[in-house]
Amino acid sequence: MVFSSDVFLLLFLPIVFVGNLLVKKYSNFFLLLASLFFYAWGEPYLVLLLMFSILLNWSIGLGLSKTTGTIRKILLLSGIICDLGILVFYKYAGFLAEIIYAISVKALIPVFNTTLPIGISFFTFQALSYIIDVYKGDTDASVNPVNTALYISFFPQLIAGPIVKYRDINKQIEKRSISITDVSDGFKRFIYGLGKKVLIANVLGMCVDTIYTYDITIIDCRTAWIGAIAYTFQIYYDFSGYSDMAIGLGKMFGFSIPENFRYPYLSHSISEFWRRWHISLGSWFKEYVYIPLGGNRKGTARTYINLILIFILTGLWHGADMSFIIWGLFHGLFIILERIGLKKLLDRSKILSVVYTFFIVNIGWVLFRADDTLSGLTYISKMIFPQNNPDVNIALWNYMDNKTVFVFICALAGMGIIKTLTPEKIKKLWNNSVIEAVYCVCVLLLCLASIAADTYNPFIYFQF
């Protein structure tokens, strides 16, 4: 079940929202059942895997709270191995088998035909952070299995984040209140996110998909650039739209879910971009991998090695394919170059630094979107070396119409430009005003009309 579907908007959400207000004392149990139903809607039998992960990590958390010394370390290690083992089996087994086959020219590992559970990377990372934090003493283990289960499976951020740490939300799970203001703010935030997804990301997605269906050898420079920029906007509005909806839903049920985006395309460097993009994932890797490896405390060479490793893992987290690893290394390389001295040059011009960052990120998204590494590199060559393009020019109206052009303009303005240029006085007049309420109603009606026409598509990050 996706947020941008009629089933969710017209049935699931109203029923769960009203039901949660009625049960009050049993809210956690009710939301847990709703979350498991939400997941089972799309993964009828794989919900059992989610339930197993919940039971496993709750049990390990309890064990960690009652043991000491070597046994405690073994228990933590067992939990980490089990969590990562499940993730590797479902997401990376085929990729590992291909690598081993390429090295040995023998099929040493059998490849199982498995269905990738939706959101497995997200709920696995939350489970890992829970047992690691319990081990470190950063949070107490939950005695109540319902609380742990709700933390891991809470439907607003179960499928595509943001990744939440138990210590940041445990008190809200144990006791929370829902105010009219929170509900109002939550609904508005949800509608803003829904608009991003349905009215912007989906429209640009059709443009991108059309361009990527062409034989890459006949794509000209203009078409390549339009496809690349369209995808750059699509993935931002798709993913940040989901995060907005998750944060809004959280408020409606009394939870404060952390922000996941802060206008990343206005960044002045790749380092800053990763502080603004998918913030919860970057925070997770920093706390649980980068710092334990030594971070930047063990010399320059070790720092660079740690950074490269983090971005290899970031690429792998997104998918079991060499393209994702290269995409991660691509970002890691520019972060190292900025540390070496490029950042000092970028600081001389705010405009050029934003252009540089957007260009690098845009090139990276081509590798991310392409079917394979070779296709991605070929596509990039079409963008950078127009003299190598064929004489064939694909007609612009084959993949764009007036609606797409208008959405492109909205996407450009909405990536942070409007917020940056709007005076504070106008922002205050807009917030919680009748005008904003009318705007939200209009956006919601437009989204419902679009969904009724069956023009929506699943969120990009569902596959991760």
- Which pLDDT score, from 0 to 100, does residue 431 have? 83
Average pLDDT score, the chain: 90
Residue 256, phi then psi, degrees to nearest 5: -110, 100
- The helix or strand, by DSSP H or E, that contains position 405, with its residue range, turns out to be helix 402-412
pTM of the predicted model as reported, rounded to 2 decimal places: 0.92
- Which pLDDT score, from 0 to 100, does residue 106 have? 62
- Which pLDDT score, from 0 to 100, does residue 296 have? 85
Least confident of 52-61, 70-79, 89-98, 359-368: 89-98
What is the rounded distance in angstroms from the CA atom of residue 384 to the CA atom of residue 366? 12
- Going from the C-alpha of 397 to that of each of 199, 211, 385, 401, the distances in angstroms are 20, 11, 23, 6
Instruction: Tell how many helices (H) and how many strands (E) occur in the chain.
Output: 24, 0
Give the pLDDT mean for 381-386: 87
In this prediction, residue 335 has a pLDDT band, given cuts at 50, 70 and 90, of very high
| 169, pLDDT greater than 80 | yes
Percent of the chain with pLDDT over 90: 64
Cis peptide before 162 (omega within 30 of 0): yes
Amino acid making up residue 163: I
Contact 336, 320 (CB under 8 A): no
Give the pLDDT mean for 103-123: 75
Catalytic residues: 318
- Which pLDDT score, from 0 to 100, does residue 392 have? 66
- Which pLDDT score, from 0 to 100, does residue 455 have? 60
Tens of pLDDT, residues 232-291: 999 999 999 999 999 999 999 999 999 999 999 999 999 999 999 999 999 999 999 999
- Which pLDDT score, from 0 to 100, does residue 204 have? 94
| 108, pLDDT greater than 80 | no
- Which pLDDT score, from 0 to 100, does residue 107 have? 57
Give the pLDDT mean for 163-191: 92
> Of 137, 171, 121, 136, which is closest to residue 151 (Cα–Cα)?
171
What is the rounded distance in angstroms from the CA atom of residue 380 to the CA atom of residue 383? 5
- State both tokens at 188: 């508005």
Q: Domain boundaries in the chain?
A: 6-176, 182-268+347-452
What is the rounded distance in angstroms from the CA atom of residue 313 to the CA atom of residue 69? 30
> Of 257, 312, 289, which is closest to residue 80 (Cα–Cα)?
289
| 189, pLDDT greater than 90 | yes
Which residues, at least 6 apart from 447, have a Cβ–Cβ distance to it below 8 Å?
4, 191, 194, 195, 198, 199
- Which pLDDT score, from 0 to 100, does residue 288 have? 95
Contact 206, 289 (CB under 8 A): no
Contact 62, 141 (CB under 8 A): yes
Contact 130, 166 (CB under 8 A): yes
Secondary structure of 304-362 in HEC code, one letter for each residue: HHHHHHHHHHHHHHHCCCHHHHHHHHHHHHHHHHHHHHHHHHHCCCHHHHHHHHHHHHH
> Of 428, 382, 432, which is closest to residue 212 (Cα–Cα)?
382
- Which pLDDT score, from 0 to 100, does residue 154 have? 95
Residue of higher predicted confidence among 321 and 326: 326
Tens of pLDDT, residues 397-452: 888 889 999 999 999 999 888 888 888 888 888 888 888 899 999 999 999 998 88
Contact 194, 443 (CB under 8 A): yes
Contact 224, 444 (CB under 8 A): no
In this prediction, residue 391 has a pLDDT band, given cuts at 50, 70 and 90, of low
